[in-house]
Amino acid sequence: MRKKVIFRGVGLPILLLAPQLAVTIIFFLWPAGAAIWQSVLQEDPWGLNSQFVGLRNFQEVLTDPDWRLAAWNTLIFSVAVAGSAMSVALLLAVQADKSIRGANIYKTLLIWPYAVAPAVAAVLWLFLFHPSIGIIGRALNAAGILWDYKLNGTQAMLLVIIAAAWKQVSYNFIFFLAGLQSIPKSVLEAAAIDGARPMRRFWTVVFPLLSPTTFFLLVVNLVYAFFDTFGIIHALTGGGPGKATETLIYKVYVEGVQNTNLGSSAAQSVILMIFVIAVTAVQFRFIERKVHY
């Protein structure tokens, strides 16, 4: 028989919920509400001349070719970052999962980059790839490859992708490693006895069993590429050259902080907010049920 435990009255439960509610209200609902309100206004930076314009800011954002370019950049950037960070991490995790000498040192070293702040990571990569002061950048130019990410948009995008993916490899590595270690050995042994070669064992047994981890990481990586790579882009390219590495989140910053164009910036961040809500909803409603656990 099931016994329902219910609080009497509302005082205590509200008190117990209060910290979480306060955090949610102060750090989520309030700023989100302010952004939504701001997004329907046309204002000078000082807020002295404010006018309600309805959805005009949204309409202007969505028809702005620069915004569409940023959306396209974001798509390429996110897919590339998530894809490369996850595949490299999976490869490393599979290797680290084998019984090799010094496995612990190897694992620890692989986790280090996660502790590096984005801006610092960017500076490290800058020192490697700067065409005139970077070691690799100079080597590339000396080898006859015209390398100048300050002028070549494709190279700039490549560089920010590498730097952003590099930082995320460690995080993915930890999760993949944990995922690999939770796969029962008996399953693998059974497959081996059936005569499956290591590659086949990996793709038919290990990879499907890793799918919950993979899916979780995919969402986390996409969100990372969308929102947490601002520091790297800011320090490496500043969105340039031209607008070649300007992603949506970077454009929100440029519009709001550099150009003090609050209405448009707020409209853009509301669009991003809708996107995140949609991703979360999709994840909880549909996909998580279908992923094999």
- Residues in contact with other proteins by the rule CB under 8 A: 27-28, 30-32, 34-35, 38, 42-49, 132-133, 148, 150-153, 216, 219-220, 223, 226-228, 238, 240-243, 249, 252-254, 256-262, 265-266, 268-270, 272-273, 276-277, 279-280, 283-284
Q: Which is nearer to other proteins, 65 or 184 (CB)?
A: 65
What is the DSSP-derived secondary structure letter of residue 50?
E
Whether residue 86 contacts residue 218, with contact meaning beta carbons closer than 8 Å, is answered with yes
Contacts of residue 113, defined as CB under 8 A and 6 or more positions apart, other chains included, come to 121, 166, 167, 169, 170
Q: Compute the distance between CA of residue 291 and CA of residue 4 in angstroms, rounded to an integer.
A: 32
Handedness of CA 86, 91, 92, 95 (dihedral sign): positive
Q: Which is nearer to other proteins, 97 or 228 (CB)?
A: 228
Q: Minimum distance between the CB of residue 218 and other proteins, rounded to whole angstroms?
A: 11
Q: Compute the distance between CA of residue 269 and CA of residue 37 in angstroms, rounded to an integer.
A: 12
Q: Which is nearer to other proteins, 173 or 224 (CB)?
A: 224
Q: How many CB atoms lie within 10 A of CB 216?
A: 15
Question: Which residue from 223, 107, 121 is spatially nearest to 162, judged by alpha carbons?
Answer: 121
The owner of tokens 């590099």 is: 166
Q: Minimum distance between the CB of residue 236 and other proteins, rounded to whole angstroms?
A: 11
Question: Which residue from 86, 90, 88 is spatially nearest to 78, judged by alpha carbons?
Answer: 86
Q: Which is nearer to other proteins, 34 or 192 (CB)?
A: 34
Q: Minimum distance between the CB of residue 120 and other proteins, rounded to whole angstroms?
A: 17
Q: Which is nearer to other proteins, 206 or 225 (CB)?
A: 225
Q: Which is nearer to other proteins, 37 or 203 (CB)?
A: 37
Q: Which is nearer to other proteins, 130 or 201 (CB)?
A: 130
Q: Minimum distance between the CB of residue 228 and other proteins, rounded to whole angstroms?
A: 8
Neighbouring-strand partners of residue 42:
51
Whether residue 153 contacts residue 245, with contact meaning beta carbons closer than 8 Å, is answered with yes
CA distances from 282 to 122, 181, 208, 215 (A): 32, 28, 21, 12
Q: Which is nearer to other proteins, 232 or 270 (CB)?
A: 270
Q: Minimum distance between the CB of residue 40 and other proteins, rounded to whole angstroms?
A: 13
The HSE-up count of residue 147 (CA atoms within 13 Å, CB side) is: 21
Whether residue 172 contacts residue 219, with contact meaning beta carbons closer than 8 Å, is answered with no
Q: Minimum distance between the CB of residue 106 and other proteins, rounded to whole angstroms?
A: 27
Q: Minimum distance between the CB of residue 282 and other proteins, rounded to whole angstroms?
A: 11
Q: Minimum distance between the CB of residue 32 and other proteins, rounded to whole angstroms?
A: 4
